[in-house]
Amino acid sequence: MSTSPLRVAMVGHGFMGAAHSQGWRTAPRFFDLPLRPEMRVLVGRDSTAARAAAERWGWAESATDWRAVLERDDIDVIDIVTPGDSHAEIAIAALDAGKHVLCEKPLANTVEQAVSMADAAARAARRGVFAMVGFTYRRVPAATLARDLIAAGRIGEVRQVRASYLQDWLADAESPMTWRLDSARAGSGALGDIGAHAIDLAQFITGLRVASVSGTLQTLVGERPLLAESVGLSGTASSERGRVTVDDVALFTARFGGGVLGSFEASRFASGRKNALRVEVSGSTGAIAFDLEDLNALHVFDATAPIETQGFTRVLVTEPQHPYVAAWWPAGHLLGYEHGFSHQAKDFVEAIAAGEQPTPSFDDGLQVQRVLESVGASARSGSSWTDVEPNEKEERP
């Protein structure tokens, strides 16, 4: 690793901060990276908490003023893991300051913010400064394999998509409020938080984009105890109550380009489903099915195999021939959730070193944001079909 450093500052330090930190720390150990990530500064609003988090997650220093960090010469990358309402401001300033940016999903809370961010990214890219949005599930080896198989024509023409992200941490009506249930902070609820993953993953795997949607949003439980103390994605309840201002279930039908139909669901009320991000793609000569709760496996159906042995094959995606896997353990030794963050770090660093646009780009993030907004618009107009406005790159100044 006698390589040049890539000096990173991370803004925010919640659950995502831990995951990103683990990605930055681990990636250079298992992959031969062209630049050596250095975990320089962790930025948080509260100096005590930031200092503790920096020590905990292995950042050289901590800071409280992200604007000051942007002015430092010894920082190359800004990694944004704050809630969605602050993404636009930080990311645009960082890009304008010449820092590469990795920004957690969803890109922003509104399309307007996302457009500004994509514009800033376009301006920056012209100066060799790049931005990426953190849809890490693309980098689960089984998901990448699904994309590769479809791109190689292994299931023929794509015919139908089923995508859902099912969780149950709101199934208990007394489970407390968190910032994720407050539209001012989170923008939207199940739709933007987990539905965004389902949209991105379905588009990534199929190579198709959602063109129009007919959707429905619902808030099953409208009032909850306020949060006393945060634990995981939820926490303990206080005696006061607050109003849930986001959806907790989102259902929509999508038309992709080429007339392909898709069904989507995002729910936090799917009892017994903890983190079931599922995508099934039916093609003319095969199918793939993925479930994040069994993330080392991909189920593949091949309609061209001999009829007597056709069926879904459970591929354990742990062979050296599988995406990202050769860097890790022998066959049959499973990877976990956090490995996607190492893969993300690797791909980001490689793109930066090569002076190339990493993916998913802010344009990709914006496009997902447009789908989210169209679902909301459709839901507000009685589920009528609503077009997803395309990113009009050509008009970009």
Q: Shortest approach of its own copies to residue 127 CB, angstroms? A: 33
- Residue 275 contacts its own copies per CB under 8 A: yes
Check: CB of residue 281 under 8 Å from CB of residue 274: no
Question: 13-32: which residues touch its own copies (CB under 8 A)?
Answer: 15, 18-19, 21-22, 25-26, 29-30
Phi first, then psi: give them for residue 276, nearest 5 degrees: -85, 80
Q: Shortest approach of its own copies to residue 341 CB, angstroms? A: 11
Report the run of H or E that residue 48 belongs to, with start and end: helix 47-57
Report the run of H or E that residue 147 belongs to, with start and end: helix 141-151
Interacting residue with its own copies among 269, 290, 324, 348 (CB under 8 A): 269
Check: CB of residue 281 under 8 Å from CB of residue 180: no
- Residue 372 contacts its own copies per CB under 8 A: no
- Residue 216 contacts its own copies per CB under 8 A: yes
Round to whole Å and give the CA distance between 250 and 108: 18
Instruction: With contacts defined by CB under 8 A, name the span among 71-79, 110-118, 130-138, 279-287 that binds its own copies.
Output: 279-287
Q: Shortest approach of its own copies to residue 343 CB, angstroms? A: 13
- Residue 230 contacts its own copies per CB under 8 A: no
Question: 151-180: which residues touch its own copies (CB under 8 A)?
Answer: 154-155, 159-160, 162, 167-169, 171-173
3-state SS, 187-253, equals: CCCHHHHHHHHHHHHHHHHHCCCEEEEEEEEECCCCEEEEEEEEECCEEEEEEEEEECCCCCEEEEE
Q: Give the nearer residue to its own copies in terms of CB position, either 282 or 391.
A: 282
Round to whole Å and give the CA distance between 295 and 281: 16
Q: Shortest approach of its own copies to residue 186 CB, angstroms? A: 16
Q: From 312, 351, 316, select the one nearest 335 (Cα to Cα).
A: 316
Please state the separation of Cα 238 from the chain's center in Å: 31
At 115 the three-state DSSP class reads helix
Please state the separation of Cα 12 from the chain's center in Å: 16
Q: Shortest approach of its own copies to residue 9 CB, angstroms? A: 18
- Residue 397 contacts its own copies per CB under 8 A: no
Q: Give the nearer residue to its own copies in terms of CB position, either 91 or 150.
A: 150
Instruction: With contacts defined by CB under 8 A, name the span among 71-79, 90-98, 127-135, 319-327 that binds its own copies.
Output: 319-327
Check: CB of residue 114 under 8 Å from CB of residue 88: yes
Report the run of H or E that residue 162 belongs to, with start and end: strand 158-166
Interacting residue with its own copies among 339, 343, 346, 370 (CB under 8 A): 339
Instruction: With contacts defined by CB under 8 A, name the span among 77-85, 94-102, 322-330, 352-360 that binds its own copies.
Output: 322-330
Instruction: Count interface residues toward its own copies (CB under 8 A).
Output: 98
Q: Give the nearer residue to its own copies in terms of CB position, either 130 or 269.
A: 269
At 111 the three-state DSSP class reads helix
C-alpha separations of 156 from 141, 152, 153, 216, 286 in Å: 21, 9, 5, 31, 7
DSSP symbol at 267 = E
Question: 282-301: which residues touch its own copies (CB under 8 A)?
Answer: 282-287, 292-297, 300-301
Q: Shortest approach of its own copies to residue 275 CB, angstroms? A: 3
Round to whole Å and give the CA distance between 390 and 257: 12
Q: Shortest approach of its own copies to residue 253 CB, angstroms? A: 5
Q: Give the nearer residue to its own copies in terms of CB position, either 37 or 358.
A: 37
- Residue 220 contacts its own copies per CB under 8 A: yes
Q: Give the nearer residue to its own copies in terms of CB position, either 90 or 295.
A: 295
Tokens of 259: 């007339």
Check: CB of residue 185 under 8 Å from CB of residue 242: no
Whether omega for the bond prior to residue 390 falls within 30 degrees of 0, making it cis, is no
Q: Is the dihedral of CA 183, 186, 187, 190 positive or negative?
A: negative
- Residue 55 contacts its own copies per CB under 8 A: yes
- Residue 384 contacts its own copies per CB under 8 A: yes
- Residue 87 contacts its own copies per CB under 8 A: no
- Residue 338 contacts its own copies per CB under 8 A: yes
Q: Give the nearer residue to its own copies in terms of CB position, either 70 or 249.
A: 249
Interacting residue with its own copies among 39, 70, 149, 198 (CB under 8 A): 149
- Residue 318 contacts its own copies per CB under 8 A: yes
Q: Shortest approach of its own copies to residue 159 CB, angstroms? A: 5
> For residues 335-358, b (16+ Cβ closer than 10 Å) or e, as one string?
beeebbbbbbbbbbbbbbeeeebb
